[in-house]
Structures are given as structure tokens and as C-alpha cells.
Structure 1
Amino acid sequence: MRSILLIAVFALTMIPAYAHLGSLFGIVHNGNTQMPLQDVTVVLKGTGRVAQTNVLGQYQFDNLAAAEYIVEFSHLSFKKRSITVQIKDDERMVLRTDLMTSQIELGEVTISSLEPHDHQLISGVDIKLRPINNSQEVLRMVPGLFIGQHAGGGKAEQIFLRGFDLDHGTDINLTVDGMPVNMVSHAHGQGYADLHFVIPEMIKAVDFKKGPYHADKGNFTTAGWVNLKTQDALEQSFVKLEAGQFDTFRAVAGIDLLGQKGRDRNQNAYLASEYSFSNSYFDHPQHFNRVNVMGKYHGHLTDNTVLTLTGSTFWSRWDASGQIPDRAYESGMIGFFGAIDPTEGGSTSRTNFNAETATVTSRNFVIKNQVFYSHYDFELFSNFTFFLEDPINGDQIRQKESRDLMGYNGSISQQHKVGSTQWTTTLGAQFRQDFVHHIGLAHTKNRNSILERYKYGNINEMNAALYLDEQIQVTNRLAINAGLRYDYFNNQYTDLLEDPSVRKSASEGILSPKLNFYYTFNPKLQLFLNTGKGFHSNDTRVVVAQNGRQILPAAYGSDLGLVVKPFPKMILNASLWYLWMAQEFVYVGDAGVVEPGGKTRRQGIDLSIRYQILKSLYADVDLSTAKPRALSAEAGSNYLPLAPIFTSTGGLSLQMKNGLTGSVRYRYMAQRPANDDYSVKAIGYFVNDLQLNKQWDRYTVGLSIQNLFNTKWKETQFDTESRLKNEAEPVSEIHFTPGTPFFAKVSVMYHF
């Protein structure tokens, strides 16, 4: 009884102490666009209190004694700003702050436990320093990620990361503004991800994470995920013209539709468009055409709710020279840039609508809702084996589909305290529905005659998911992130080659836990341990064939690493990683057959370094090693074909106050096995690129050079069995697509 009385007396004495305390509520904006800035670090100097702005650029400090305070704001690529405020008893002070863009100063970057950086800090530095040359360059922002084109400029690139030949996206989750890019049960390959509908100049940021460690990332998140964020507003309208070798032309424009009057009303809208043409460097002209149109609106519905609407449409058509066998080039039958079947090529289109709202309630709940819809068409003609199967007509195939994709992403989160521990709890729901019409694989001739249909049908695939994520700030040094995700799939396939047509279905679910630890010793050193389970789904045609068994193969991963600033102007990120994948069944779209994949294990080391050498000169280097192995095969025959084992990228970037910017870069992929016993090798390459830009008040002139030293290199390589027209027997050897030779392009941009 006495203890209860003491507690009551203590509580009563504390009430008047808190009753007279004040508070500070603030909003931070980009001074150029008046858009709210998220993730700005706000420090109340001398108190040890730190906050970060939310999706509306808001922050708040409560229970402040009446006094004068210095509030310090910092955000990557914005000028630091300090403001002195006077807090009074029983008053809530409201502070609006604009931050202006500036050159990146790595010396000002600190490592904080408030929001664990991991790779995100590296990403933020890179996107501000490196000029983006084209849409495929965007993926190269991810340290250790390589891409290769092997069927003309319109087909999605082949992706390599962390000991994976990811094909076109099977084990990496790609999104744009949260809208999925990967196509499930695609005519060409599972997870096919074509980013060419993104206009490079409209990209604001590249967020990524390696490994399956985030609860809000689901299907295909095994090697990692990448989310491209497009601009919410244009600082200036612009028109840009480009011209280069090989009949290469490009025009792009971005128009601010509302101007300053719109910004005064917290509204922004713009329209952007792009047209590209190139015959490329192949002996047979590529006749590549691409058109992109994009519009975006971002504005406040209320003081606490923002609405973002994005619409875009994209169309592309091209001819391709395809992959050529070593023997054809080495015998002089064709040149290095020649073709065996010059009738390859294709066309594709995608139209998107994306609507997003974000609301911050009076009780500090953050509610996000997103709905999206895409209509997608795809047609691709390829010939990998030439005359192996059909000595008369050749082996050309057509892969075709028409798709309607729709879905929803939603979440509700809140920050709260339990004693001195701060929690952020997020509950999310996601839904995706794909209707794929007349998806097929057929034997064709000269892109106009169907000789035989191998596969032909309709797909209905649904994926629904729930997830719970807890971000726990245990102390000012220790942060813990725990998550749990559940995904449910329902797959239906109607075989239209059967008479009458036959529909089969199957369903399955998977639970994916995540647990991550971040310990920040000081503003210069943070250790992290990431663990988690992920998965990639399999093609519906595999799922129904397996009656739903083993159709969601799990992946278990872990990263142990650090983020450190060994010197004031250097940031280093290093990690040891491991990934184990369960049995899977793979649908080979080029052959229309199912192959067992087996269990695999990958482990390696990643190292990223960013260094500011001088005020305007920056250096970067990324090193990645991997040891990928099949666990069901004997040693010596357990290599994973085409999986990279060592890669490195790096370069120098220049950002001068007089408007001169640029970069010189390299990328290196070491030799790697092309088959499971390493008896056939995919030869490595080392290629350099250069880019320079000079900006005046209204004009920017640029020069871009790919393959600066005109290196002869093979961009993609496959160990394939094929037969040429006059060969009696087939031959198995490397088939390759030649890499870009020296390629120069100039550009002129006008700002208004």
C-alpha cells in the first residue's frame, strides 16, 4: 500500500512539470520544387534528440522545456541548415523549412542508427554523382549488378548479381514507384522484367537491397530488389536532343504543367515524352524504334494527405542479329557483328496507370494506399539452334502474349514508445492479379509463317500477401528489424491446344520471416546482421503440371557486414553473404519444357567504397565475389552455368561549380563457367565508358562514349548445341552476342 501511495505522489508531482512544456512541429520542403522532403535528419542540438521527416516532410519534438534551441537539418545532396527557435511553455511552435540542393559532401554524411543505412547510403551518393546514359544504365547503380543485351535493344536485358544468372529477372524483384515490373508466367521467361518504359531523365532515386530481408518485398526477392522512383516534380521544363553513331537519334522533353502557381497550391504536374531510333552496330540494321510518354500529378488533397497519379505508355519494335556461334565467326563465315538468322526481332508495349495516396493522421498513423493497372503486349522471334530441329525451314520460334495486370499495395504504420524504446509498427497488404491471354510458343519462318504451335493457352494468376514489420530502436545505438510475410498463390492455366480446351489449377502459400540487427558504435561505424527467407514463384504452366507441389521454392539468406567511414570523406560498405535455395522446377520458355533446378548454395563477399578525393572529384569502386554451387551434383560437376564469380565496377565522377560534370567508368566481369563442369568457359571482359556535360543557365551540352578504347568483347555468352545450314552434325559451343564497339553520342538540352 505504501509503494502504491509513493507512486501516486510521484505521478502527481510530475503532472505540473509536463503541463508547461512546449513542442516543435515542422515541415521540410525542397526549396526548388516545394515538394516535401522525406528522411531529412533533424537534430535538436545539445539535447541528444533526433528525428526524421515522414512522407509529408513532417517531424515533431514534444516535452520541450522553455528555452532557445538550435535545430539542424541535413539530407544527402542538400545544404545543411541550422535555425534557432524559441520554445515557450504550453505552446506548439510550427516551423517550415526549405532546403536547397548542393554538391555532395561526404564529410558531412554521418551513420545513424535512427535509419540503418546499409546499401541505401551508397545508392543515394551514386544517383547524385553519375550521369544516367540510358534506361539500362539505371540497374548498374546497384553495386555488383551486371546486365547484358542479347536480342536487340528492345528486349529486356539479362541480369547478373550475387552469383546468379538471373536471366531477365527470375530472382530479383524490380518495381517502379512500387508498381511491379517483373512479369509472372511470361512467354519468354519467369520474372521477365523490361524497364525500357522508364524515361531515364525522370528517375529521382534508385532504392535497393541485396538479399531477402524486407517484409514488404515478396515474389522474386532472393538475390535482392530494386525500386526506381520517378520525379514528383520538375525543377525546370526541358527539351533534349541526342545524335550518335550507327544512325542513332533520340529526343526527350519534360514540361512543367502548373509552374509556380501550382507549387504555391502544393501541386505539381508534368508531361514527359521520349523517341529513340537506332540501326545499331550490327551488320544487319536493327531498325530500333521506341516511344515513351509519361504524365504525373502530385498534390495535397488535404493538409495531411497527398495524392500521386502517374500514367504512361510505351511502344518498341526492333530487328535483331541474335546469338552467333564461335565457329561461324572464327571460320570467316560471318563477321563479329554478323548474323545467322537476321530475321529475329520483336515488338512490345506497355500502358500503365498508378495512383498513390499517403496520409498522416493526428495520432501519427501513416496510411499508404496504391492501386495500379498495366496492359502489356509482347512478341519475340528468336533462333538459338538455327537448323538443328528443322533442316529445311530453320528453328525460329515466336513467343507471344497479351496481358492485363492489376493490383494493390497498402500499409498502415505508427511510431510509439515503450519506456525508452521506440517502435515503428507497419501492417501491410498486397494483391496482384495477372490475366495473360493467348500466351504461346510456336515454330515460325521469317517472322510471318506459323509452322507449328508448341504451347498455346490462357493464364490466370493471383498473388495475395499480408506482412507485419517492426522497426525497434532499442537504444541510440541498437536497432532491430523483425518482419513476417505470408504469400498465397492461385494459378490457373487453360490449354487451348486441347479440344475441348482444358483448364487446370493449383494453389500454394509460403511464410517468410525476417530478422535484422544494426549496431551503431558512433557516427562513423555501424555493424549489421541481416537474415531472412524469400522465394520466387514458378510459371503457372509448371505449377499446374506439379499439381501445386514444390512450386514456391524457398531461399534462406544472411548478410554480416559493416558501414564505416575510415576517413572523413570516405564511406565503405562490406558484407559476407550466404544464400541457400530449395528445389525448384523451371519452365524453359524457349523450349516449352520443364527442367528440375535442384538445391543451390551461393556465398561471397561484397565491398563498396565511395571517396571524395577533392571538392569536386569523387571515386568509387565495387568488388563482388561469389561461389555458386549446385548441391545435388558431385564436386567438379556442380558449377552453375554463367553465374558470375568475380565482378568489379568503378570510376571517377566530376561535379564542378561551373557546371562541368562527367564520369569515366569501368566494368569488369571475370571468366566464368558456361557449363556445369567448367569445361566450357564464358570469357570475361573489361570495358570503359566516358561521359561529359557542361551546363550554362539554360543549356547543357553532353558527350557520351561507350567502350572508350574500342575493346572487342562478348556481352552475353551461352553454351548451346546448334547446327548450321550445311553441317551434317550439330556442334555444342559458345554462342555470343557482341558487345558495343566504340560508340559516341552528343546531346544538347535546353531548360526553360
Structure 2
Amino acid sequence: MRITFFILLCLVFNLRAFSHLNIKGKIISNQTNQALVGATITYGTSGKGTVTDQFGNFQLEVDADSVGLLIQYVGFESQIISVTSPENELIIKMKSGVVMLKEVAATSNTAGRLNQLAKIDVQLKPVNSSQEILRYVPGLFIAQHAGGGKAEQIFLRGFDIDHGTDIAINVDGRPVNMVSHAHGQGYADLHFVIPELIESIDFDKGPYYADQGNFNTAGYVDFRTKNKLDKSLVKIEGGQFNTIRSLVAMDVLEKKGEDKNQNAYVAGDFMLTDGPFESPQNFYRYNLFGKFNQMINSQKMLTLQASSFRSEWDHSGQIPLRAVEQGLITRFGAIDDTEGGNTGRTDISARLDEKIGENSYLENMLYFTKYDFELYSNFTFFLEDPVNGDQIRQKEERNIFGYQSIYTNEARLGSRQLASRAGVGFRHDKITGNELSHSLNRQTTLNRLALGDVTESNVYAFVDESTTIGKLTINAGLRLDYFKFNYIDQLLATFARQTEDEMVLSPKLNFNYQLNREVNIFLKSGVGFHSNDTRVVVVQGGESTLPKAYGFDFGSKFKPLPNLYMDVALWYLFLEQEFVYVGDAGIVEPGGKTERKGVDVSARYQILPWLYMDVDFNWTDPKSIDEAEGENYIPLAPVYSAVGGFTFKHASGINGGFRFRYLGDRPANEDYSETAVGYTVADANINYTQQKWEIGLMVDNIFDADWREAQFDTESRLYNEAQPVSEVHFTPGMPFFLRAKFSLFF
């Protein structure tokens, strides 16, 4: 009898111990009824939980009879929900509110892909131009050196990325980087993005994720635009240097209201400015954008979008330091003010997100991009041609076709949570008239230095598996990329197609340990590759087509205080080779083996309910391995950098901020005989926002510092010089620049 009672007691205890809840739910905004993607759902003190998918859905299995769920999304009021034996799917509506850092957990999923820093910054930091959106990435610096219309020069983790050679940039999943571009590999022009339409940003550093391929060496950035406008708006901005900008964004289905599962909006942005230069930039840009979303049923969502962008400008180019010091020109003068350019881009895409099983999803995206580019530059003045000067023209037209399909599945095996992702896709670039020519006055072609047609294809597949056992998540991935390179040199007397192909495998392995809600520890490792221009590949005969990049990060996301969120990482990156196609000269330069190591520190602190402080500090030690000590510096690679500031959002409607960015001195050449001088620049803005309108002031370079935005060690010769001189050439940074804005919401 006693034995029977003991057995029954054990059975009851085991049933109790192994009872669990299978919780399903959907999280939406109570204002727009739109799904909140990436909302966190946690329980207990461990920080264990999950995040919502692209439909706002989540599923969670808990070994308990009842549980309290903490629902959080940055910029929305947190909720605590008690769940006991749910029979139906939970529908949780969240109310927008102020950002409260004490409610933000230091959590991650799939070894660090939940980027709390990005969510916090998007809510707090205003973005006043399409150029500035890249500054959301901690440690990333940009420099404009061609009249406002050229893509920005990018610096990150010890890389002078030029215009995008080692960072993968996407908007709504579409690639921004241009392969084998007339100006250089990876050229990434973000001026087609309207900053007010950005909903979220996904970014990370290092080659650690299987779904990121070409250009993902230093990191990647993926911008997502809004599916629905919170409010329609009309905005106008005006300021110094004959600057004016207007924006209209309208919800075109809002008044119909018959179908809440359908929405669409259109936006238009137009800008004019002459800039601070003595020769006016005559810059203009327009953007048109439209997006349509349709919930076909509860399991399918169709998204269609289209955009068109056009820009034209003049610029004064980079000027030699000696010309300013000798009084030949001022800081805002020019040696050749006939430089300039124009560019345009049109995008069309269709995306279908579908729930194909209880825990399975399928994303399909098809896109097309039409692009053109023409740029006139003069870096060496009269070095090569003492009579006509050294102006060059770079020009191309291209069509891009692409497709991507990603399958996602979540499951549970005993106490283990499993997450699987697999994807396939392709990108095909067809480039005609990829040109480098010696020109005069932007009107006469003196001689063609390079002219050809490029066809480049990238077919890829990846698998990604994550397993969570208790507090530990292990993420392993493998990516396969196949490239086909074709080049037809139009300057040859007879037709000849140069062709190479290459395949590369890139494994990834990441670990994530969730100690509790306040401490998350991660170790990331992975192999990627340095992207190469088609013209590099065919010249090298396929040698070192896709040189490997090896990296790891070790760090932690943690909250030492309830209102203080920190992210710290130690990292290392090794590259086998850094071939560069120099579009300005039509030559190939091998960079050899390089290594970079450093420390990244980010902190977000809420001083008062309406006052926030943030700071990002980055130290990097970049070196060329093949060169002798003292001659192994990587030109223009950042060493010390920091950004930070204060942001305030008061209930009265007064809001704004003060921000600074610091970039330390760095070598301008391999032996550090020339220095790219560092700078500190501060900006400020203040606004008064009401339900129906907003007014504001923005000031760039509030202390009117003299700073050099872009710098290069260049050999050049002025018209009156007998011998060339090698020294720093620079583009002056923006002086004190005041703008005012007025917005109407409806």
C-alpha cells in the first residue's frame, strides 16, 4: 500500500514538473493596428523568452501551470500579462509612450541579432538628412566630398570603406551597394531614402551571420521603411546657403477605412542648396516613394513598393593644403570648379510573407533596380595634362534583377528551443558603358582610359540553426556564394569576353549566454570574404577572387543600473587580401594581408524621464601584415572615435538634442608621414511638437569649427608649379549651418 502511494505521489509530482503552457499570441500597435516586429516577450528573472516575427506573432512554451509575461517594445508602454491555460491566441495591443530604459532588458536572440541599441536610437535620435541615417551605427563615420550628391565615404572598424567596399547596406531587403561600379566597388548611395520614412534599423558588425553575404566584412546595415504612416505630413525646411527642402507624405487609404487589412502611402521629397562653397553647388534632389500593404488573409501579407530618385550637382572638389596656406584660395574655394555630376535610381519590388505552418514562415521578395551615374572629378589638377588639366569622367548605366526566398521554422525538442532559417537567392547586374575618360570642362572627351560592359551574377544559399538549452543559445550557419564575372573591353580592336567564376563557403558559429535580464554575454565567430570588382577578378585571372575574412567578437550587453544600458565588445578581423579597383585611375592595387582589432563601447542612460544621454567610443588598431614596421599603417583607417550627446523629449512638446562626434588623428599614408587631422563637431536641434503641427531649428557645427571632412594624401601639380607635390588634400567640413522647419500633421 505504501509502495503504491509512493508511486502515485511520484507520478503526480512528475506530471506537475513536466506540465507546460503552449502560449501563442500577436502583438500590435493600438494606434495603427500594425504588427510590432521584434517585440520581446520574457518571463521570470532569467530573461528567457522570444520575439515577434514579421506578422507580430510569437509562440512560447513554458514549463509551468501559469506564468507572467513581460511584453516590451521600445517606444511603447510595457505590459505584464498573467497567462494560465490559454485556449485561444492572445491579441496584445500596446500603447505608444516614452522610452523607459529601466524597462529595456539586456537580451538577445540567435546569438545577438536583437539589436536593442538600434531600437533605442531610432526612437530618440532625430535624423535630418538621408546622409545621416548611417550614423545610427555606433562607430560609423561618414564624409561627403563631392557637392552633396556623391555617396558618402564610410569609416568603420579600422576600415576606410571608401563608398561601401566592406559594409553591406540594404533598404527593405534590397541591396544598395553597386558591384563593379564606375567609381569603385560597393558604391552605396543612400540619397534615395527619405529619412522620415524609416521605421527600424537592423545592423551588426563583423562577418557572423549566414544571411549576410557580399560586402559584409566590417558589418551590415538594413533599413526598413514604415508599412503605414502614423500621420500624414507636410514639411518645409529652409536655411543658409540657399537651402530649401519640402516633404509631403500622405496615407492614401486612410479616409476609406473599409479594409483595415490594407494600407498605402506615397511620399515626395525635394531639396535645393548651394552649399557653403564660393562656387555654388547648384544641388537639387527629388525622391518619390510609394508603398502598399495587403493582408490577403491572416496567413499572408503582400507588400508592393516603388521609388524614384534623381540628383544633380556641381562641386569644388578636394583642394591641396598648400593652396590654402599660400592664400591662393580660401577653405571654400576651388582649383577646378567644373566638377560635378548627376545620378538616378528607380526601384520596384514585391514581397510576400506567408505563414505556411504552425511555426513556419516563408518570405519571397522580387526586385528590380534601374540606375545611372555620371561624375566629373579632378584630383591631381595639372599633373598628367599640364595644358587641359586632369579632369576625369566616370559614367555607367545598369539594371539589377534580384530574388530571395527565406524559410523560417521554430520548434521545441524537450527542453530545447530550436530555430531554423534557410534561404536561396540571386542578384544579377548588367552594366553598360562603364567608363573612365579624360575630359575637359565636363563637355569634351579628350581620351577614353577605360570603357566596357560588365555582367556580374551572384547566386547564394544559406542555412542557419539556433539551439537554446537553458540560458545558452548556440547559433551555427553556413553560406554558399557563387559568382560569375564577365567583362567586355570596348577599347579592344576585336571582341573579347573575359570570364571568371568562383565559389566560396562561409561558416559561422556564435554563442549567447543569458545570465539574467540584466546580463547577456556573447561570443561571435565567422568567416566571410572581401568583395572584389569584376575588373579586378579578370585582370588577376581569377587569383584571390574572394579572399577570406576571419573575425570574432567577445562581449556583453548589460545593465549595471536600471536606467543604464551598455554594450561592450572586444573584436578581431583578419583579411587574406584587399584588392582594390581604383576607379579614378583604372588600375588594380593589391592591399595585401591586413588585421584589425579593437574595442567598442556603447552606453545609453536615462537621466530623467524626459532626458537621455548616449555615448559610443571606439578604438581600433589596423595594420598591414605584409609591410615592415613603421610602413604598415592603413591610410585613413580610424583609430580613436567617439559620438554622443543628450536628447530630451518633454511632455510639454519641447524636444531636441545636442550631439557631438570626434574622430582622432589618423595616418594619411602607409608610413604616417602625413596626418589626416582629426576633428570634433557638435550639432544641436530644438523643436516644439503638438498634435497637429511642429516647428523647429537645426544647427550643424554649432561652434563653427574649422574641420576637414574628407582627407587624402595625393600627388598633384597646380598650373603654376614646375614640380608635383604630395600632401594632404581635403574637403572642408560644413561651417555653422542654421535651418528652420515647419510641419503639419493630418
TM-score, normalisation: structure 1: 0.95
- 1:80 maps to a residue whose letter is S
Partner of 1:644: 638
Partner of 1:80: 78
Q: Tell me the secondary structure at the aligned position of residue 212 of structure 1.
A: coil
CA shift, 1:18, in A, is: 13
CA shift, 1:419, in A, is: 2.2
CA shift, 1:39, in A, is: 2.1
Partner of 2:387: 392
- Which of 321, 328, 332 aligns to 1:333? It is 328
Q: Show the 5 A alignment for 1:88-487.
A: 92-112=87-107, 114=109, 116-117=111-112, 120-259=115-254, 261-262=256-257, 264-475=259-470, 477-487=471-481
Determine if contact 2:625/2:632 at 8 Å carries over to the other structure: yes
Change (3 A) 1:389 1:237: same
> How far apart in 1 are the matches of 2:388 and 2:621?
42
> How far apart in 1 are the matches of 2:480 and 2:616?
34
> How far apart in 1 are the matches of 2:96 and 2:110?
22
CA shift, 1:338, in A, is: 0.2
Partner of 1:561: 555
- 1:701 maps to a residue whose letter is I
CA shift, 1:207, in A, is: 1.2
Give per-residue Cα distances to partners, 1:319-344, cap 9 Å, x unaligned: 00000001111111011100000000
Change (3 A) 1:588 1:64: closer
CA shift, 1:516, in A, is: 0.6
Give per-residue Cα distances to partners, 1:346-403, cap 9 Å, x unaligned: 0000000121111112332111111111000000000000000001100000000000
Between the two proteins, what is the percent identity of the paired residues? 47
Partner of 2:570: 576
Determine if contact 1:65/1:87 at 8 Å carries over to the other structure: no
> How far apart in 1 are the matches of 2:451 and 2:167?
27
Change (3 A) 1:149 1:263: farther
Q: Tell me the secondary structure at the aligned position of residue 259 of structure 1.
A: coil
Determine if contact 1:34/1:266 at 8 Å carries over to the other structure: no
CA shift, 1:85, in A, is: 5.6
CA shift, 1:224, in A, is: 0.4
Moved more, 740-749 or 490-499: 490-499
CA shift, 1:111, in A, is: 2.2
- Which of 681, 685, 693 aligns to 2:687? It is 693
Determine if contact 1:33/1:263 at 8 Å carries over to the other structure: no
Give per-residue Cα distances to partners, 1:134-170, cap 9 Å, x unaligned: 1111111111100000111000000001111000000
Change (3 A) 1:636 1:21: closer
Q: Tell me the secondary structure at the aligned position of residue 132 of structure 2.
A: helix
Give per-residue Cα distances to partners, 1:26-64, cap 9 Å, x unaligned: 221111211111222234679997343221111235699
> How far apart in 1 are the matches of 2:527 and 2:24?
39
Determine if contact 1:279/1:288 at 8 Å carries over to the other structure: yes
User: Is 1:532 paired with 2:526?
Assistant: yes
Partner of 2:721: 727
Q: Tell me the secondary structure at the aligned position of residue 560 of structure 2.
A: coil
Structure 2's unaligned 5+ residue stretches are 1-7
> How far apart in 2 are the matches of 1:611 and 1:299?
39
CA shift, 1:15, in A, is: 14
CA shift, 1:656, in A, is: 1.1
- 2:186 maps to a residue whose letter is G
- 1:189 maps to a residue whose letter is G
Q: Tell me the secondary structure at the aligned position of residue 714 of structure 2.
A: strand
Change (3 A) 1:637 1:61: closer
Partner of 1:545: 539
Partner of 1:41: 40
Change (3 A) 1:264 1:80: farther
> How far apart in 1 are the matches of 2:404 and 2:710?
36
CA shift, 1:22, in A, is: 7.7
> How far apart in 1 are the matches of 2:208 and 2:48?
29
Partner of 1:627: 621
CA shift, 1:72, in A, is: 3.7
- 1:55 maps to a residue whose letter is Q
Structure 1's unaligned 5+ residue stretches are 1-8
Determine if contact 1:111/1:117 at 8 Å carries over to the other structure: no
Determine if contact 2:658/2:682 at 8 Å carries over to the other structure: yes
Determine if contact 2:210/2:462 at 8 Å carries over to the other structure: yes
- Which of 566, 570, 588 aligns to 2:582? It is 588
Partner of 1:521: 515
CA shift, 1:122, in A, is: 1.1
Partner of 1:52: 51
Determine if contact 2:434/2:452 at 8 Å carries over to the other structure: yes
- Which of 603, 613, 619 aligns to 2:607? It is 613
Moved more, 461-470 or 654-663: 654-663
CA shift, 1:537, in A, is: 2.1
Change (3 A) 1:207 1:439: same
> How far apart in 2 are the matches of 1:543 and 1:116?
34
Determine if contact 1:118/1:563 at 8 Å carries over to the other structure: no
Moved more, 106-115 or 281-290: 106-115
Change (3 A) 1:66 1:576: closer
Give per-residue Cα distances to partners, 1:246-287, cap 9 Å, x unaligned: 000000010001116558531111000100000000000000
> How far apart in 1 are the matches of 2:159 and 2:258?
45
CA shift, 1:303, in A, is: 1.1
Determine if contact 2:166/2:531 at 8 Å carries over to the other structure: no
- 2:373 maps to a residue whose letter is F
Determine if contact 1:420/1:474 at 8 Å carries over to the other structure: yes
Matched positions, count: 739
Determine if contact 2:112/2:512 at 8 Å carries over to the other structure: no
Give per-residue Cα distances to partners, 1:402-458, cap 9 Å, x unaligned: 000111111111112222111111111121000001111000000000000011111
CA shift, 1:25, in A, is: 3.1
Q: Tell me the secondary structure at the aligned position of residue 154 of structure 1.
A: coil
Q: Tell me the secondary structure at the aligned position of residue 437 of structure 1.
A: strand
> How far apart in 1 are the matches of 2:393 and 2:114?
40
Partner of 2:5: none
Determine if contact 1:241/1:251 at 8 Å carries over to the other structure: yes
Change (3 A) 1:115 1:264: farther
- 1:386 maps to a residue whose letter is F
Q: Tell me the secondary structure at the aligned position of residue 183 of structure 1.
A: coil
Q: Tell me the secondary structure at the aligned position of residue 128 of structure 1.
A: helix
Change (3 A) 1:44 1:677: closer
Q: CA RMSD in A?
A: 2.3
Determine if contact 1:406/1:433 at 8 Å carries over to the other structure: yes
Partner of 1:505: 499
Determine if contact 2:530/2:575 at 8 Å carries over to the other structure: no
Change (3 A) 1:369 1:389: same
> How far apart in 2 are the matches of 1:728 and 1:47?
72
Moved more, 185-194 or 302-311: 302-311
> How far apart in 2 are the matches of 1:19 and 1:471?
23
> How far apart in 2 are the matches of 1:22 and 1:639?
58
Change (3 A) 1:660 1:64: same
Change (3 A) 1:48 1:126: closer
> How far apart in 1 are the matches of 2:100 and 2:78?
10
Determine if contact 1:119/1:208 at 8 Å carries over to the other structure: no
Determine if contact 1:262/1:268 at 8 Å carries over to the other structure: no
Determine if contact 1:118/1:573 at 8 Å carries over to the other structure: no
Give per-residue Cα distances to partners, 1:282-302, cap 9 Å, x unaligned: 000000000000000112112
